[in-house]
Amino acid sequence: MFVIFGAAGHVGRVSAAALRRAGRPVRAVVRNADQGEFLAKIGCEIALADLLDAATVARAIEGAHAVQLLCPVPHADTDPAQAMRRMIDATVAALRADPPPRLLALSDYGAEHPTGTGITTLFHELETQLRSVDSQSTFLRAAEHMHNWARVLPIALAKGVLPSLHHPLSKRFPSVAAQDVGALAAELLLDDRAQRVSPRIVSIESDERVSTLEVARTIGDLAGRAVAAREVPRGEWAAMLAGAGLGESYARLITDLYDAHNAGRIDVEADVSERRFGATTLAEVLAAILPHAAAVTATAR
């Protein structure tokens, strides 16, 4: 049995579908039954679990040959960092008690740093705790997801301005499509060769790095209108994130992350990682999410 946590997300559903196409049994772990509709249609067994509840995690991994773990940052919580740490504690406790033969954890570029990287620091903590689980482990570290631009696409379409925390606008940074992460995760789970080292650290980013200037130009080309990139001054970050509805604690995790990005600390750990590259382009990802952003923009008018 292949157990996929976060199976309803952009990465997890791709992994689940790939494993089902390979003829493998999949238990798709979701938070509520409604999220499992598509997964049940492709032949997945559906399990409900709360990562804050070790007992539900234990039930979800029972009999697993391999587990794909996603531990999300609970951004709606008043203290997302502490909430995620509780998730990590509960989940790792269940995995230690019943370790699957194979374990793949979805992680982030920069997770090798113990401090100073905001959200990514939490993935360092996840990786650190998972090293105590008696499984053949793989940490799949992904670059920034291209889909994250969906958050500001309505602004770009409505105002012709793309705000960015990446400084300077010409800086090229690694990013990746979620579907490429999901496909690689499934490929790694299906690789039954004995690992020489555990954890195995694998990185994935797109074939080409991009800059915010290129992102704005691509949005403009797809939307048929001029879109200019705007470097949001560091002093305006907190107000902008608060205006977007983010709580103070979550906003601080984001500002710390982009401070680390702009200092060059969020990148592949080149001497440690096996490097993989996704073939999906930024234009393909943006073209897929543009219609929804355009609908949001039209509704807001």
CATH number where 46 lies: 3.40.50.720
Q: What is the pLDDT of residue 69?
A: 98
Please state whether beta strands 45-48 and 136-142 pair in parallel, antiparallel, or not at all (unpaired).
unpaired
In a domain, 217, yes or no: no
Residues 273 and 20: their CA atoms lie apart, in Å, by: 28
Q: What is the pLDDT of residue 10?
A: 95
Q: Which residue has the tokens 């500002």?
A: 255
Helix axes 119-130, 248-262, angle to 10 degrees: 90
In a domain, 197, yes or no: yes
Number of domains in the chain: 1
In a domain, 55, yes or no: yes
Q: Is 225 exposed, middle or buried (0-12, 13-18, 19+ CB in 10 A)?
A: exposed
- Asked if 217 contacts 47 with a C-beta cutoff of 8 angstroms, the reply is no
Q: Is 21 exposed, middle or buried (0-12, 13-18, 19+ CB in 10 A)?
A: exposed
* Radius of gyration for the alpha carbons in the chain, expressed in angstroms and rounded: 19
- Asked if 36 contacts 46 with a C-beta cutoff of 8 angstroms, the reply is yes
Tokens of 205: 């980013």
Tokens of 125: 């903590």
Q: What is the pLDDT of residue 297?
A: 61
Per the structure, the complete domain to which residue 273 belongs is given by 2-143+175-205+266-279
Q: What is the pLDDT of residue 90?
A: 97
Q: Which residue has the tokens 């990446």?
A: 166
Q: What is the pLDDT of residue 299?
A: 61
User: Residues near 275 by Cβ (< 8 Å), separated by ≥ 6?
Assistant: 202, 203, 204, 268
In a domain, 123, yes or no: yes
In a domain, 199, yes or no: yes
In a domain, 22, yes or no: yes
**Low-confidence residues in the chain, pLDDT < 50:** none
In a domain, 42, yes or no: yes
Q: What is the pLDDT of residue 300?
A: 54
- Asked if 148 contacts 177 with a C-beta cutoff of 8 angstroms, the reply is no
In a domain, 128, yes or no: yes
